[in-house]
Amino acid sequence: MLQVAHIRENKEVYIEALKKRNFEAETVFGEVLQLDEERRSTQAELDNTLAESNRLSKEIGMLFKSGEHEKANTVKKQTGDLKEKSKELSDKLNEVSAKLTELLYTIPNIPHPSVPAGKDEEDNEEVFKEGDIPVLAEGSLPHWELAKKYDLIDFELGNKITGAGFPVYKGKGARLQRALITYFLDKNIEAGYTEYQVPLVVNEESGYGTGQLPDKEGQMYHIQNDDLYLIPTSEVPLTNMFRGDLLEEKQLPISCTAFTPCFRREAGSYGAHVRGLNRLHQFDKVELVNLVKPEDSYETLDKMVEHVKDILRELKLPYRVLRLCGGDLGFTSALTFDFELFSTAQDRWLEISSVSNFETFQANRLKVRYKNKDNKKELVHTLNGSSLALPRVMAGILENYQTEDGIKIPEVLVPYTGFDMIK
């Protein structure tokens, strides 16, 4: 969530920057500043009213003490009127503050200057590509056919148990999945991240804190009786662990990693492009979250990008990195790099990771601050990234590593799987 003070100070710059997102901010900013002015004037009037009420209360005590009962009762009536007025002002302040917050929730983050303008994914900018795309033998299969041929993943059984988008991993398919999770976590811990196990459901406040609510409410599974949400990513509980905290500078950076299942309704997703593991309602993911000082956040983003590159190099999967354009940028992000691996059997790129810097956007919602070297309270910057989302990595391994004799296991995973070939 943007800070009102920053909107006031940078109004024209922000209006121009948000055009990259195709978001017309001028009218909204006008309403924000008007509501903030009303909020501040109401707060000032309330403060003055309360101060006057307190002054008169002290005066009443002195009047009673000096025996001036009639005058004390007259002043007492005035305090009664002031209390009624302060209640009305307090109610008005709450109403105006709620309207202001609700309006601020509708404004996306300001894109970083390096974000290209654009309408959608077609306008994203490729900034890096690495790895040789393998040449597969004639008759090579997409991963959903390979999963059936080698009895690795049962999509129909998942459909029977729950519904479409909830696959069942079996045998060596389940072991490969577990190997990937452990490998990703080991790589993250080796890089200095602390591993956490976090809840798979969160409250509404957590959803608002990291920006999934109200922006992606329709994509989240809601448990109505308890007013809880299944997590769409462990970013939500990991970042919310620090909600409302005042950190010491020496605690930063804070680097967290976690493996969790993730749940997304993916409403409106149909067609061949979502077949097999390409788009699921439940999937496994290992996440990275960083809380850092503002001056360190873009260096941290670069390190996160390099970290994911290193994982893909070790898996020997062909991949590319895209800088997302304004029209494809997530609501809460200032700058995002997407990683895509090439699915040889499907002859297309599949997104497997997003690495993003949110700057103070989430921290302002979460009220996560730290005391800087001048002992002043300052919002932290938050970042997150997938390292990695498993379904499409699994799809890439099955398709790109298939041979006439079976599916080879990437060398780096063999110590985790205990086998080097699926036959």
116-126 residue pLDDT tens: 999 999 999 99
CATH number at residue 397: 3.30.930.10
pTM of the model: 0.92
Same domain for 226 and 83? no
Are both 365 and 400 inside the same structural domain?
Answer: yes
Q: Compare 266 and 140 and report the one with higher pLDDT.
A: 140
Would you say 352 is a known binding-site residue? Answer: yes
- How confident is the model at residue 217, as a pLDDT? 76
What pLDDT, in 10s, does the model give residues 188-200? 999 999 999 999 9
Does 211 share its domain with 65? no
Residues 140 and 274 in one domain: yes
13, 69: one domain: yes
Each residue's pLDDT tens digit, 365-383: 999 999 998 999 999 999 9
Quote the percentage of the chain above a pLDDT of 90.
84
> Which residue has 């209640």 as its token pair?
87
Q: How far apart are CA 261 and CA 257, in angstroms?
A: 13
pLDDT category at 271 given cuts 50, 70, 90 is low
Q: Is the pLDDT of residue 71 over 80?
A: no
111 assigned to some structural domain:
no
| High-pLDDT (> 70) share of the chain, % | 98
Residue 353 known to bind ligand: yes
One domain, residues 321 and 289? yes
- pLDDT tier at 244, thresholds 50, 70, 90: very high
Query: Does 354 show up as a binding residue in the annotation?
Result: yes
pLDDT at residue 79 greater than cutoff 60 = yes
- Has 269 been labeled as part of a binding site? no
Average pLDDT for the chain: 94
Residue 57 has pLDDT above 60, yes or no: yes
Do 150 and 260 have their domain in common? yes
Q: Is 264 assigned a ligand-binding role in the annotation?
A: yes
Residue 388 CB burial class (10 angstroms; 0-12, 13-18, ≥19): buried
Both 310 and 403 in one domain: the answer is yes
Whether 158 shows a pLDDT value over 90: the answer reads: yes
User: Is residue 269 very low, low, confident or very high in pLDDT (cuts 50, 70, 90)?
Assistant: low
The DSSP result for 151-215, as a single string, is T-EEHHHHHHHT-TT--EE-HHHHHHHHHHHHHHHHHHHHTTPEEE---SEEEHHHHHHHT-TTT
Which structural domain, as residue segments, surrounds residue 182? Answer: 121-422
Report the distance separating Cα 104 and Cα 332, nearest Å: 12
Q: Is 31 assigned a ligand-binding role in the annotation?
A: no
Domain count, the chain: 2
Which residue has better confidence, 139 or 151? 151
178 is in an annotated binding site: no
392 in a known ligand binding site:
no
User: How confident is the model over 38-42, as a mean pLDDT?
Assistant: 97
Domain C-terminal end among 104, 133, 157: 104
pLDDT of residue 267: 56
Looking at residue 32, its amino acid is V
308 and 255, same structural domain? yes
**Helix and strand totals (H; E) in the chain:** 13, 19
pLDDT of residue 7: 97
Given a cut of 90, is residue 300 above it in pLDDT? yes
384 annotated ligand-binding residue: yes
Return the residue matching tokens 């996160």: 304
What is the pLDDT averaged over residues 33-54?
Answer: 94
351 marked as binding residue:
yes
pLDDT at residue 80 in the model: 80
Give yes or no: residues 97 and 127 share one domain: no
Show which of 43, 76, 104 is a domain's final residue: 104
